[in-house]
């Protein structure tokens, strides 16, 4: 999405959440990038205590992520909120969020996005 700085939309997983896809043209991008790097080089994150999901738009483009990838990220971050995960990040929280996100995506008929999270969980188990 060349020329864009921030794309904002309501989540397709749960419309009470706002999604911000932030690109390098945004003045806030360096801060967002640094914050995501500090979170195990995450591509997305939920702002604690708010219903806002931040996604690194540059990584979306660079890694060729699809709409299903974005839905998986949305569902994963929303699952963190539903599970009350705030503050410290750990492997247990990540697994719990993936499991709930898979259920959420399956319940709305987004099997392709769900399959991406299942693959992610398998790769995490192998490492």
User: In the predicted model, is pLDDT for residue 3 greater than 60?
Assistant: no
**d(C-alpha 44, C-alpha 41), whole Å:** 9
C-beta of residue 83 within 8 angstroms of C-beta of residue 97: yes
CA neighbor of 15 nearest in space, from 99, 74, 60:
74
pLDDT, tens only, 22-36: 999 999 999 999 999
pLDDT, tens only, 49-72: 899 999 999 999 999 999 999 999
CA neighbor of 117 nearest in space, from 78, 76, 89, 79:
76
Taking CA atoms, 7 is separated from 38, 97, 105, 117, 121, in Å, by: 23, 24, 22, 24, 28
Helix (H) or strand (E) segment spanning residue 6: strand 6-10
pLDDT, tens only, 77-100: 999 999 999 877 788 999 999 999
């Amino acid at each position: 999405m060349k020329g864009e700085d921030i794309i904002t939309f309501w989540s397709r997983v749960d419309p009470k959440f706002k999604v911000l896809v932030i690109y390098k043209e945004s003045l806030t991008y360096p801060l967002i990038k640094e914050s995501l790097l500090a979170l195990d080089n995450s591509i997305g994150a939920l702002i604690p205590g708010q219903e806002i999901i931040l996604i690194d738009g540059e990584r979306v483009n660079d890694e060729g992520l699809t709409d299903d990838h974005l839905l998986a990220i949305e569902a994963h971050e929303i699952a963190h909120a539903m599970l009350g995960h705030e503050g410290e990040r750990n492997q247990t929280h990540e697994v719990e969020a993936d499991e709930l996100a898979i259920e959420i995506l399956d319940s709305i008929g987004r099997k392709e996005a769900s399959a991406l999270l299942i693959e992610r969980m398998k790769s995490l188990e192998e490492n």
